[in-house]
């Protein structure tokens, strides 16, 4: 019984159908995101569990696809873990018979899956142990943050292009001088668009509300994101492993073709 | 300098000639016309890069103008590799996409504070080239007359997937710096995730015994349709953009 359940959990056929289900939920979600402009965009400014409790459950008609997607991703995570362990169990006893390079190549897909799980774990960590707060960014404005902390906007600076003539006067950069106070902390620093600042365990992002800067409206996002240190490096490792794997496969194939010739 | 829309017209005319010559079964002259279209298109992209008075990669790597260019480059590469039949198939895709975008304003979206980072051209370059590789894989898979074509299609799909993943990672880094999260809940990000999952599933098909080459070819075609639906939707979403020099 347990063996059968494990075999099902580790099956590539299950991977395929779970990915199909994930595609379905992603596409449905993309349509919902396009059509609904009030509740769903809040997902970007609240932690996922908080959003699900505050908005997802009370508006199940809007969020059902998200529950489906999260459940599918959970199953995909279990499937990827079972697949990886299963493959490692088959590969490891063969490593003595395989030339060094061949074993290293064969183990790469399993490593990719394991790092992918780590990345999913990073997202989970950020959702469970992170925090996010937003404040408007107008000069002189002070925002009270959770836990008796405060954030004051001392000044806002807009840089514009001087040249070429087609761009003269258009926004080039935006930055804000901030003062952050918490117990034992009183710091002044400058955060800019695309250049967040890290202070006392939080990251301070300056966000231009209009992506194309047609308005000068700004918002501050204060995040604690413990998973990001796993997510971004993990994704970079996946790319390197994948590129190396397919390049090595191609080389092996070319060698085989040369021998056949 | 003439408007960018006007500069695009000679390239579009050459792409139209490609289609006409292929319809008349003149494969060699059609591929010659494709070479002319590619050169004219490269000139148009160079003009676009300088349209704002200073060199800008962001102006080059925009889907409507860079996707047909990538497809034309792939078709010429296949031609150079003596795969004329396959080159003709991809040339049709290049010409059709180049002509479909003709009504869209060819002006450049001006840079904004959120686009002033090297991750942006890296993201768009990788993403659009990956799209071109996916479309090429679908074209080769659907017109194959033997196993070698599907092998070639598979290779294009795999490298498309690797490049698409590079795009998603650079996009995640850009999104984190600009929006504070590596993944945004938005139409664009969710659809990109759908496309990524579609090709991740394709990579796994090789391990499923029930999937014949014919079914895998059909799958690649379906993947390209999902991508095309997304690209069309994106054109409508971005139709209201302010542009300069169109």
**pLDDT tens digits, residue range A153-196?**
999 999 998 888 888 888 899 999 999 999 889 999 999 999 99
Cα separation, B96 vs B62, whole angstroms: 17
Q: How many domains does chain A have?
A: 3
Among A174, A194, A235, select the one facing B169 at the smallest CB separation: A235
Q: What ipTM score was computed for the predicted complex, to two decimals?
A: 0.92
Same domain, A124 and A238: yes
Task: Assess whether the previous peptide bond of B2 is cis (omega < 30° from 0).
Answer: no
Handedness of CA B153, B229, B184, B57 (dihedral sign): positive
* Contact flag B169-A171 (C-beta cutoff 8 Å): no
DSSP H helix total and E strand total for chain B: 9, 0
Among A26, A43, A225, select the one facing B191 at the smallest CB separation: A26
pLDDT in tens, A106-131: 999 999 999 999 999 999 999 999 99
What is the least distance, in Å, from the CA of A151 to any CA of chain B? 17
Can you read off the two tokens belonging to residue A69?
């997607």
Residue length of chain A: 261
Looking at residue A41, what DSSP letter applies? G
Contact call for residues B67 and B232 (beta carbons, < 8 A): no
Same domain, A126 and A137: no
A170 lies in which domain range? Answer: 132-224
Q: Beta partners for A179? A: A152, A188
Can you read off the two tokens belonging to residue A173?
């950069």
Residues of B in contact with A235 (CB under 8 A): 168-169, 172, 182
Cα separation, B34 vs A137, whole angstroms: 52
Can you read off the two tokens belonging to residue A252?
């092996």
Same domain, A26 and A76: yes
Please report, for residues B93, B110, B133, B144, B220, the alpha-carbon distance to residue B213 in angstroms, rounded to integers and kept in the order given. Answer: 22, 45, 19, 10, 11
Q: CA nearest A18: which of A100, A91, A80, A102? A: A80
Same domain, A191 and A108: no
What is the least distance, in Å, from the CA of B221 to any CA of chain A? 15
Residue A241: partners with Cβ closer than 8 Å, 6 or more residues away = A108, A111, A112, A115
Residues of B in contact with A209 (CB under 8 A): none
Residues of B in contact with A203 (CB under 8 A): 180
Can you read off the two tokens belonging to residue B155?
């290779």
* Contact flag A228-B162 (C-beta cutoff 8 Å): no
Q: CA nearest A67: which of A85, A55, A80, A79? A: A55
Residue B41: partners with Cβ closer than 8 Å, 6 or more residues away = B11, B65, B68, B69, B72, B98
Classify each residue of B102-131 as buried b or exposed e, where b means 16 or more C-beta atoms within 10 Å of its C-beta.
eebbbbbbbbbbbbebebbbbbbbbbbbbb
What is the least distance, in Å, from the CA of A26 to any CA of chain B? 5
Same domain, A172 and A219: yes
The residue of chain B nearest to residue A211, with distances taken between CA atoms, is B114
What is the least distance, in Å, from the CA of B208 to any CA of chain A? 7
Same domain, A125 and A137: no
For chain B, the structural domain boundaries read 1-106, 113-246
Q: pTM (2 decimals)?
A: 0.93
Q: What is the pLDDT along chain B (246 residues), one digit of tens a residue?
A: 568 989 999 999 999 999 999 999 999 999 999 999 999 999 999 999 998 888 889 999 999 999 999 999 999 999 999 888 899 999 999 999 999 999 888 889 888 999 999 999 999 999 999 999 999 999 999 886 555 568 889 999 999 999 999 999 999 999 999 999 999 999 999 999 999 999 999 999 988 988 888 899 999 999 999 999 999 988 888 777 778 877
Residues of B in contact with A211 (CB under 8 A): 112, 114
Looking at residue B172, what DSSP letter applies? H
Test the A interface: residue of B180, B196, B242 with most A CBs within 10 Å? B180
Same domain, A220 and A246: no
């Amino acid at each position: 019984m347990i063996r059968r359940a494990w075999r099902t959990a580790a099956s590539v056929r299950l991977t395929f159908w779970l990915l199909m289900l994930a595609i379905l939920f992603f596409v449905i979600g993309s349509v919902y995101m396009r059509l609904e402009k009030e509740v769903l965009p809040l997902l970007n400014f609240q932690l996922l569990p908080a959003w699900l409790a505050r908005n997802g459950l009370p508006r199940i008609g809007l969020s059902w696809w998200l529950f489906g997607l999260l459940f599918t991703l959970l199953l995909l995570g279990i499937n990827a873990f079972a697949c990886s362990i299963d493959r490692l169990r088959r590969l490891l006893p063969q490593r003595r018979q395989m030339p060094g390079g061949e074993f290293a190549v064969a183990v790469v897909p399993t490593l990719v899956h394991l790092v992918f799980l780590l990345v999913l774990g990073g997202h989970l960590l950020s959702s469970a142990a992170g925090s996010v707060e937003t404040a408007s960014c107008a000069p002189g404005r002070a925002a009270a943050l959770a836990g008796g902390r405060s954030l004051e906007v001392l000044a806002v600076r807009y840089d514009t292009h001087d040249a070429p003539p087609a761009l003269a006067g258009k926004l080039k950069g935006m930055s804000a001088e901030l003062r952050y106070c918490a117990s034992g902390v009183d710091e002044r620093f400058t955060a800019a668009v695309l250049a967040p600042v890290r202070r006392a365990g939080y990251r301070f992002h300056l966000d231009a509300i209009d992506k194309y800067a047609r308005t000068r409206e700004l918002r501050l996002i204060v995040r604690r994101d413990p998973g990001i240190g796993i997510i971004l490096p993990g994704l970079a490792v996946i790319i390197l492993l994948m590129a190396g794997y397919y390049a090595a496969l191609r080389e092996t194939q070319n060698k085989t073709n040369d021998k056949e010739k | 300098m003439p408007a960018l829309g006007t500069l695009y017209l000679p390239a579009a005319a050459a792409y139209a000639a490609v289609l006409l010559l292929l319809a008349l079964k003149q494969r060699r002259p059609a591929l010659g016309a494709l070479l002319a279209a590619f050169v004219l298109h490269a000139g148009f992209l160079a003009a676009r890069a300088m349209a704002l008075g200073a060199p800008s990669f962001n102006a080059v790597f925009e889907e409507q103008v860079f996707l047909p260019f990538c497809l034309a480059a792939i078709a010429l590469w296949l031609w150079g590799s003596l795969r004329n039949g396959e080159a003709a198939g991809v040339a049709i895709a290049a010409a059709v996409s180049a002509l479909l975008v003709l009504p869209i304003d060819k002006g450049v979206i001006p840079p904004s504070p959120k686009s002033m980072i090297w991750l942006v051209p890296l993201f768009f370059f990788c993403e659009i080239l990956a799209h071109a590789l996916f479309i090429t894989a679908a074209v080769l898979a659907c017109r194959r007359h033997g196993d070698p074509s599907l092998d070639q299609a598979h290779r294009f799909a795999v490298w498309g997937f690797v490049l698409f993943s590079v795009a998603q990672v650079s996009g995640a880094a850009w999104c984190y710096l600009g929006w504070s999260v590596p993944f945004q809940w938005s139409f664009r990000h969710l659809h990109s995730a759908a496309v990524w999952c579609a090709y991740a599933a394709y990579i796994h098909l090789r391990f499923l015994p029930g999937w014949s080459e014919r079914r895998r070819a059909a799958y690649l075609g379906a993947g390209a349709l999902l991508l095309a639906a997304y690209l069309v939707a994106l054109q409508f979403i971005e139709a209201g953009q302010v542009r300069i020099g169109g």
